[in-house]
Amino acid sequence: MAVLNYVESALRPEDAVYDQVVPAGEGWMHTIRKGQSFRIVDLEGNQAVDTLFYSAEDPEERYSAVDTIREQGNLFLSTGSKLISTEGEVLLTITADTCGRHDTVGGACSAESNTVRYALDKKHMHSCRDTFLLEMATCDHRLYPWGKRDLAANINFFMTVPVTPEGALTFADGVSEPGKYVELRAEMDVVCVISNCPQLNNPCNAYNPTPVRLLIWGADV
């Protein structure tokens, strides 16, 4: 598959102010300040990184997949994509991308979808929805009183969900490879919630969840 919008970043990992590896199946929540650059590296390839963004100032304002798709007139995210909030503001802009496309229509895996897509005995398996809820349950509720109702449509970085000419969604083998990354510039202070997908039942992460590396550049005020 052709890599569209391939843009490398000039930022060097040794200059990052934050650098952490998140193992497969783990969650992560962090505030990214306006002007900071945030990179997600697919360390071993074909991982799916389920991601939500919220305004750090207003916990009611969050990433809106439908507004983002409408504004850019394209279903896939890549370099130049502006991630639009429920208030019509730009949360972040994708400034570099060596993978080429990222999904925002496939949603996050859950116990329920695991049983519908695969089998009833998959219900107990760890899912992104569980990871999101765990992160939300353990953050500071005085600042961010998030719960089930705050699980908006998410982004699946590095995941491929091709859309057929008839409009059907299909899950396909990932197009990412070891070391591919996507980089975003925060246009306001945002809270990022990640589930590094633990899915073992579909080819989006090659049936083999793997770690990702998260880096941030710029002043942490």
User: What's the CA angle centered on 135, arms 134 and 137, to 5 degrees?
Assistant: 60
Smallest separation, CB 204 to Zn ion (Å): 8
- Nearer to Zn ion by C-beta: 69 or 108? 108
Smallest separation, CB 33 to Zn ion (Å): 27
The pair phi, psi for residue 173, each rounded to 5°, is -60, 145
- Nearer to Zn ion by C-beta: 36 or 199? 199
DSSP H helices in the chain: 65-72, 111-117, 128-138
Smallest separation, CB 198 to Zn ion (Å): 6
- Nearer to Zn ion by C-beta: 16 or 108? 108
Query: 115-120: long-range contacts at Cβ-Cβ below 8 A with a sequence spacing of 24 or more?
Result: 117/201, 117/202, 118/201, 118/202
End-to-end Cα spacing for the chain:
41
Smallest separation, CB 108 to Zn ion (Å): 5
Residues near Zn ion (CB under 5 A) are 109, 128, 197, 199
- Nearer to Zn ion by C-beta: 186 or 194? 194
